[in-house]
Chains A and B, each alone.
Chain A
Amino acid sequence: MKNKKGTDKIISMYWFVILFLVAAAIVYMAAIFYGEPYDVREIEAHILANQIANCVAEGGYLKENILFDEEFKNNFLEQCDLNFNVEDVYGWKELEQYYLKIEFYTFDPNMQDNLGDLKFDFFEGNINLKDDCDRMGRNFPICVERSFYTLGKDNQKYAVKILSIVRKTEKNVR
C-alpha cells in the first residue's frame, strides 16, 4: 500500500510537469498570436486603388482634363484628395510609405489583358517600393494591381491600370 502511495505522488508530480508544459505552450502561442499586429496593408492598398479609380473615372467615363493633362499629372495628389504624409515614427517621414502608378491604355481585345498602346501614365510616391513587389514575404510592401475599362470623351475605350503599394511594415508585421 505504501508503494502505491509513493507511485501516486510521482504520478501527480509528473501531472504538474505536464500541466506546466501545456501552460507554457499556451502562453507562448497566445503571446505570439496577440503580440502580432493586425496587418491591414492589403485592405489599405485596395482602398487606395478604389479612390484612384473614383478620381479618374465617373459613371463609366473618364473625367475631363485627365488624359494628357500635365497639370493633373503634376498635382495628382491634390486633385484626387490624397495625402501621403504619415506619422513620424521609424523614420517614415523621410521614407515615403506609398507608391501609386496609373497607366491609361487603349482597349485592344486582341492583346493580352486587352491592353493596347500606352497613352498616358504618371506615378506618385516612393518609387523604390516597386522593386520589392516581386519579392515574397510579409516584410516586403504589399502591392495591389487592378485595372478597369472606361470610355473617353470621344467614346474611345480605355483600359486603366492602377498599381498601389503600401509599405508601413513596422506597424503591420513583427
Chain B
Amino acid sequence: MFEKRFSRRGEILVENIIFIILNLIFLTILMVFLFSKMGSVAVLEEMYAKQIALTLDSAEPGMEIHFNMENAFDKKEKEWDVLQMVNIQENVVTVKLQEKGGYAYSFFNNIEVGMYPDKDENNEYNGFYVITIN
C-alpha cells in the first residue's frame, strides 16, 4: 500500500517537472526569437544606412563625425571585412554587414565624403567609423 502511494506521488512529480521544463523550453525559444529579431543584421543595416544618410544630409564641409557602430561591429559576419561595412558612392550610402544582403539609402547633400573605421591606441577597431566631409 505504502509502495503504491509512494510511486504515484513520484509519477506526479515527474509529470510536473516535464510540464515545467516544456514550458521553460517554449518560453526560451520565444525569447530567443524576439531577441534575434531585435538585433537582426538586416534591421541594423537599414538603421545605420539611414542614420548615416541623415547625418550626411545635415553635414557641412570641414566636419569630422565619429559615428558609433559598435552593434554593427558585433553583429557583422566574422569573415566580413570591416573596411567593407560602409560604402559611399556618389550620394548613396550602403551598409553591408554580411556577404548576402546590404542596405542602400541616398542623401541629397552634395558633399565629398571620406570614411574609415577608427582604431584605438592598440591599433584595434574601437567600434567607431570616422566620416570626414570635404
The residues of A with any CB-CB pair to B shorter than 8 Å are: 8, 12, 16, 19, 23, 26-27, 30-31, 34, 37-38, 40, 43-44, 47-48, 50-51, 77-78, 81-87, 89, 97-98, 171
The residues of B with any CB-CB pair to A shorter than 8 Å are: 15, 19, 22-23, 26, 30, 33-34, 37-38, 40, 43, 46-47, 50, 53-54, 57-58, 90-92, 104-106, 108-111
CA distance A48 to B53 in the complex (A): 12
Interface of B is mostly: helix
A-B contact pairs, 19 of them (CB 8 A): A23-B26, A23-B30, A31-B37, A34-B38, A38-B46, A40-B50, A44-B108, A47-B54, A48-B57, A50-B58, A51-B58, A51-B109, A81-B109, A81-B110, A82-B109, A83-B110, A85-B90, A87-B104, A171-B105
Residue of B nearest to A40 (CB): B50
Residue of A nearest to B29 (CB): A23
* B106 lies within 8 A of A43 (CB): no
Q: Nearest 3 CB-CB pairs, A to B?
A: A83-B110, A86-B106, A81-B110
Contact check: which of B38, B46, B108, B111 meets A98 at CB < 8 Å? B108
Contact check: which of A31, A38, A44, A85 meets B57 at CB < 8 Å? A44
Residues in A neighbouring B110, C-beta threshold 8 A: 77-78, 81-83
Residues in A neighbouring B47, C-beta threshold 8 A: 38
Contact check: which of A30, A38, A98, A171 meets B34 at CB < 8 Å? A30
* A12 lies within 8 A of B19 (CB): yes
